[in-house]
Structure formats: structure tokens, C-alpha cells
Chains A and B, each alone.
Chain A
């Protein structure tokens, strides 16, 4: 059983049919579900919420009620596991920030990586693989 961490852009594409990557993620998920478990952190849920309710990201964004309902139900899906962001994840992200020279909002990429490291998850599914290319110990999957 593969353990796959889902990046926020993937979650947005799962929910929103108008996302440019929706078709790709749909096909990919149908291929993966029988042999995979999916992981995400509160950061991913927060970023997804911020995106799907944003009028600068979607012409008709979701209402807070829609986003709340959808995300809470999503967390109950049988293949989905929520993992916390612990001290080890933060320490790993901070160490990596100095080593890689990543700045500003790029720190949130490092926090994803640190969380995966903390929970021994080796595969990251993302539509922005290039943002994670320098980070060791993980395999990147770009659906489609």
C-alpha cells in the first residue's frame, strides 16, 4: 500500500471541476485508489480552503459553508489520513530553509516536506514538482 501525501493544488483540483488540472487528477485518482493511502496535513486543508473560497482564484468561489462541509466530509473518506505538523516537521523545514536558501512563501513548501519526513511518507503528489525538486528523501508524482 503506497502512502501518498497530497499537495494543496491537488486537493483543489479534486474538488473543483473548473480547475485546469481537474481531469488529470480525476484519471490519476481512479488509477491510484485501490493501492494507495492518501495523507495530508492541516496546512493542506487551510490552503485548499483559502483557494476554493477566493474570488481571485475562481470566478464563482465556494461559500464558507460549502467549503467547510466539503472539506470536513473529505477528511472522512476511507483512503484519507490527516497527520499533524509536529516539532520535528518544523525543525526539518527550518533546517532546510537555511540549506536551500528558500525564502518567504517558499517556506510552506518546506513545511510540507518536513511534515512528510516526520511521518515517514515518501511520495508527494503535486502539480508543482519543480518547487520540491531540491528536497531529498521524497519521490515526486505529477498526475497526468
Chain B
């Protein structure tokens, strides 16, 4: 199973900044405001189909 590299310190800081700015905008202007707002660490899949969505 393919794993994704962890984010760098700089990228993590950017994410935190994005998350904070997201919280400041409760009305949310655009779908683009949601790009990458969360860091899920590593994605433990390479292809997310319905079988993998529903598997435990």
C-alpha cells in the first residue's frame, strides 16, 4: 500500500495558518477555501474507491 510523505514543518505551519483563517471566515466564500485545510498525516491508501471507503 502506497504511503504519502509526511508534511514538512513549513507545510504544517502553512496548514495551521490556513485552518486559522478558515475559522475566521464562518460564512466561507468559496469551495476553494476548503483546499487542504486538514492534515491527515499519511494517507494509507493509493486508490480510494467504494470498496476501500466501506472496508473497516
Contact A105 B35, beta carbon cutoff 8 Å: no
Contact A108 B50, beta carbon cutoff 8 Å: yes
Contact A105 B51, beta carbon cutoff 8 Å: yes
- A35 is an interface residue with CB less than 8 A from chain B: no
Contact A57 B43, beta carbon cutoff 8 Å: yes
Contact A9 B54, beta carbon cutoff 8 Å: no
Residue in A30, A57, A73 whose CB lies within 8 Å of B45 = A57
Q: Which residues of B contact A (CB under 8 A)?
A: 2, 4, 7, 11, 15, 22, 26-56
Pull 19 A–B residue pairs with CB atoms less than 8 Å apart, ordered by A.
A9-B49, A12-B48, A14-B34, A15-B34, A16-B40, A17-B15, A17-B36, A18-B40, A50-B54, A60-B39, A61-B40, A62-B40, A70-B37, A73-B28, A77-B29, A77-B34, A108-B50, A108-B54, A128-B47
